[in-house]
A and B are shown apart, each in its own frame.
Chain A
Amino acid sequence: MKRFAKAAVFFVGLIVAWGLLVRARIWSPVMLPSPWNVAQYLWGALLDGTLRDATEVTLKRLLIGYACGLAIGLPVGLLTARFRVLRDTLGLLALGLQTLPSVCWVPLALLWFGQSESAMFFVVVMGTVWSVIIATEGGVLNVPPIYARAARTMGSRGLHTWLAVMLPAALPFVVGGMKQGWAFAWRSLMAAEIYVTILSGFGLGHLLHYGRELNAMDQVIGIMIVLLVIGLVADKILFSPWERLLRRRWGTAAK
């Protein structure tokens, strides 16, 4: 509670400082709206449902794409770790594509899928999948060989060893990769939403884009704050439990 109070004081202080800066009239209020204006915009957007709809559209794209990225990345990472021939081929490809900024998938996705949900889905999956493959592979290859040996003497074989020993042993790396995949997916989805309008749903990125078009700085800053809060909450909900588990069991956090 004391930590929470400190954080609250810090953020309130930040907003007060922001308000004072606006009062000082160093910049035009069009360029730097007051916290009050931004709050008014957010309140209005909340009441008329724009904010809720946009958040829903964005999060749906993100979560579905991310889940599919994990569902592909984890098994593929295990396979590239297990079979050298896959590591030298598919693993190398994954390593190459992982270095590619995931925003770079946006033009290709638009040409392939048009301005559609599929394009968004594709971009999010591409953002997720390569980091997860690399992290899972690296995690498994870093598992001390003695774990597998101990498991074998206790009668563990084949698939059981992989699921009951290698995968959990690689968990600290895998969680690190999942986090990175999430960050890449989130960033590339925002870029895609700012970049193109997709009529099947207006996400937060679109609101940000229209804020710019309309020169509505209160909207731009308001949406940025919403994005920041979503990022923070996602981290706390999706990854904090894993990291707590790692700290509790391994005595460390994710690598």
Chain B
Amino acid sequence: MTLPVEFQNEPPSKLSLKNVSKTFGAGTRGVQALDRVSLEVGESEFVCLVGPSGCGKSTLLNIIAGLESADAGQVIADGAPVTAPGRDRMMMFQESALFPWLNVLNNVLFGLKLKAGLTRADRKEVAQFYLKLVGLEKFQHAYVHELSGGMKQRVALARALAPNPRVLLMDEPFAALDALTREQLYGDLQRIWAERKKTIVFVTHNVREAACLGDRVILFSPHPGRIRQEFRVDLPRPRDINSVALARHASVITAALKNYAAGGPAEAAE
């Protein structure tokens, strides 16, 4: 790997999930987290998974990341089955999971140091490029405890982007932030997504957030986790979470969500 290659966008992935099932525990105590979930995600598509807690959406994300394995079914990224974590699929969590013993720059460098073929100077340049992308180049020498919640998530985003993955997996990354910070990050994420062309799978339980960010919103229902319905969001970007058109989309999705929560019948995908 050389520096110019690092700055090119890796071609975004196509993900294909086929009948993925996962049960935690065994016997009568077992909880079926996912029941035959199938999903296609296109290149550089932004897909949001929405559902109440316990619907298995985070589990599904972990399986795509390769952090957990499915009991049945397959996850295929660019034609190859996923069996282990890989740098082509980077993950972001609700907690920033930044390392407190490293400063901001070294946190972003962590993944880059594990990538072969880059010199020290190259790696630093790449890391600083991504810190600039998230607007934190001035904070590269700060330690994690000195950052606000929103800044931590920006660093985590830079750290996830730095190894130049094809897929970004985001597990409720903004859930713990205040509304104002969250809105800023919606704007940043859309800008970065447009600039760096990643395939993004984004888990949330916030319907408006999903409608604001996703090309498609996939609705899950719990016990066992199943895909219930899909919604396409055809609004121009960048989207404002406070816009009326977006609220209209969100209210349709919310109505469906409530319907399933009340035990309503399954509907065919849109």
Contact = CB atoms under 8 A, between A and B. Distances in A.
Contacts of A164: 110
Given A249-B143, A249-B145, A251-B146, A154 B90 contact: yes
Contacts of B115: 155
B101 A149 contact: no
A160 B143 CA distance: 22
Given A146-B93, A153-B89, A169 B114 contact: no
A11 interface: no
B188 interface: no
B216 interface: no
Nearest to B67: A149
Interface in B156-170: 159, 163
Nearest to A167: B101
Interface string A161-180: 00011001101000000000
B95 A146 contact: yes
Chain A: number of interface residues, binned into ranges: 20 to 34
Contacts of A152: 67, 85
B interface, over-half SS: loop
Interface in A141-156: 144, 146-147, 149-156
Contacts, number: 66
B112 to A, nearest CB: 9
B97 interface: yes
Given A155-B87, A248-B143, 15 more contacts: A144-B95, A146-B97, A149-B67, A149-B93, A150-B91, A153-B87, A153-B89, A154-B111, A155-B86, A160-B114, A165-B99, A249-B103, A249-B144, A251-B143, A252-B145
Interface of B: 65-67, 85-87, 89-91, 93, 95, 97, 99-103, 110-111, 114-115, 143-146, 159, 163
Interface of A: 144, 146-147, 149-156, 160, 164-165, 168-169, 171, 248-252
20 contacts: A144-B97, A146-B93, A149-B67, A149-B97, A151-B110, A152-B67, A153-B65, A153-B66, A153-B89, A153-B91, A155-B87, A156-B110, A164-B110, A168-B99, A169-B99, A169-B100, A249-B102, A249-B143, A249-B145, A252-B145
